[in-house]
């Protein structure tokens, strides 16, 4: 397994003896819910290959996961029971559900599993010990298995009991989803086909400084959009009106621009903007005639000229990484730029480019455009993919490799 951290030697699921064994698998079922119903089951479906592999080999599988932020105590709003029902439908077989992830009832349900059967245990974050990586809690989880399989790429950058702590008590490795995630991200880091383009958007520069710095060592072209673009424009003494601005990050933004220039990386900011007087779904919109935003207006999306420029660059690239929307895409009237990038990504993929999308908002935009299946890879872990690309050691991988967490 090649990773951005070559010192890490991690076993793969297919290299581990799982026949007839009790397997504890950490999955990422932190799915979007509305009124108790799952609105996007992508993260569940992405684990099916690993689960079907384990079922076929007669493993007794205990799944652990988190959902939302219940603040360390039980909250029916964040129960994984609807997830167990959805997983049962997708697998076309019963999935037992335990009302807790540790304790007598969880032990009883896991202990009763026959070969080829699965149980999903209740939300890990109903216990504060999970996020504290408490050893006793990790030991209690580890008692559910003889082998540990890490399949939660979206949580692998957290040093929690279920991602790092259990590795001290169980031998283990990574499932097929995590293998796929690492393979695509490693391709971006190690040997991208050029031109290599990165599209970075989202609200805040502060969230992306690390990955921007790292990508500038590798990319040929960088496109910056979203709310964070206004901090970059401000750093260039361009008026941004009342748009989102992290004034204290202007120096950081200027250093990014200077580094791009020094490394001869084409770094493009929005050339025009969709603007409003106030952020309301029915607000009257206008398009600026330049990079500047009028003093009384707010930028909410890239403008049509920027869409043309960004699309042209995307279609020229052979490897593309996209993280973060181009504007407030959740509002239909402000979603045009983000959807245009999604369409360009799909067109580039069709033309032979390797395209990787990381981050929930970018993936949601692809889904909104009906194009999620038309890119090379959608990462299930936005934060984890960014930290991997920054070159950080991910605790969930380090623990599997016997590293210090």
Q: How far apart are alpha carbons 259 and 12 in whole angstroms?
A: 38
CB 168 within 8 A of CB 43: no
If 0-12 CB within 10 Å is exposed, 13-18 middle and 19+ buried, where does residue 405 land? middle
- Tokens encoding 220: 């040929």
**What crossing angle do the helices spanning 250-262 and 228-235 adopt, rounded to 10°?**
80
User: Is the bond preceding residue 195 a cis peptide, omega within 30 degrees?
Assistant: yes
Three-class secondary structure of residue 53 per DSSP: helix
Q: How far apart are CA 107 and CA 117, in angstroms?
A: 15
Residue 181, helix vs strand vs coil: helix
Rounded Cα distance between 78 and 122, Å, is 9
C-alpha span between 403 and 167 (Å, rounded): 10
CA distances from 191 to 3, 185, 194, 316 (A): 12, 10, 9, 18
Catalytic residues: 43, 204, 360, 383
Q: 65, 98 in Cβ contact below 8 A?
A: no
Interatomic CA distance for residues 228 and 202, integer angstroms:
6
Q: What is the distance between the alpha carbons of residues 114 and 82, in angstroms, rounded to a whole number? A: 23
Report the b/e string of 112-125 with b at 16+ CB within 10 A.
ebeeebbbbbbbbb
Count CA within 13 A, CB hemisphere, residue 202: 23
Alpha-carbon span 374 to 354, nearest angstrom: 11
Beta-bridge mates of residue 25: 63, 149
In this structure, the chain runs to a length of 405
């Amino acid at each position: 397994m090649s990773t951005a951290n070559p010192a890490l030697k991690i076993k793969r699921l297919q290299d581990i003896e799982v026949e007839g064994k009790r397997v504890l698998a950490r999955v990422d079922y932190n799915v979007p819910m509305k009124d108790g119903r799952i609105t996007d089951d992508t993260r569940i479906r992405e684990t099916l290959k690993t689960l079907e592999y384990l079922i076929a080999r007669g493993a007794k599988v205990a799944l652990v996961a988190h959902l939302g932020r219940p603040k360390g105590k039980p909250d029916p709003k964040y129960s994984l029971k609807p997830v167990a029902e959805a997983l049962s439908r997708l697998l076309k077989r019963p999935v037992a559900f335990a009302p807790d992830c540790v304790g007598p009832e969880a032990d009883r349900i896991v202990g009763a599993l026959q070969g080829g059967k699965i149980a999903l245990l209740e939300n890990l974050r109903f216990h504060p010990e999970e996020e504290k990586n408490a050893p006793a809690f990790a030991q209690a989880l580890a008692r559910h298995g003889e082998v540990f399989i890490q399949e939660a790429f979206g949580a692998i950058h957290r040093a929690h009991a279920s991602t790092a702590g259990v590795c001290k008590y169980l031998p283990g490795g990574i499932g097929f989803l995590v293998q796929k995630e690492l393979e695509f991200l490693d391709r971006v880091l190690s040997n991208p086909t050029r031109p290599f383009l990165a599209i970075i958007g989202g609200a805040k520069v502060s969230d992306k400084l690390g990955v921007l710095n790292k990508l500038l060592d590798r990319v040929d072209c960088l496109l910056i959009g979203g709310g964070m673009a206004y901090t970059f424009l401000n750093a260039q003494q361009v008026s941004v009106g009342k748009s989102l601005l992290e004034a204290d990050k202007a120096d950081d933004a200027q250093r990014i621009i200077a580094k791009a220039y020094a490394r001869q990386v084409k770094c493009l900011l929005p050339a025009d903007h969709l603007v409003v007087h106030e952020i309301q779904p029915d607000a009257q919109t206008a398009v600026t005639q330049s990079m500047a935003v009028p003093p009384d207006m707010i930028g909410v999306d890239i403008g049509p000229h920027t869409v043309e420029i960004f699309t042209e660059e995307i279609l020229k690239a052979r490897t593309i990484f996209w993280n973060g929307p181009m504007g407030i895409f959740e509002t239909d009237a402000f979603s045009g730029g983000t959807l245009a990038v999604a369409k360009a990504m799909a067109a580039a993929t069709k033309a032979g480019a390797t395209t990787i999308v990381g981050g929930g908002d970018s993936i949601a935009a692809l889904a909104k455009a009906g194009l999620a299946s038309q890119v090379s890879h959608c990462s299930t872990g936005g934060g984890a993919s960014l930290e991997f690309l920054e070159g950080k050691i991910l605790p969930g991988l380090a623990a599997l490799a016997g590293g210090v967490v």
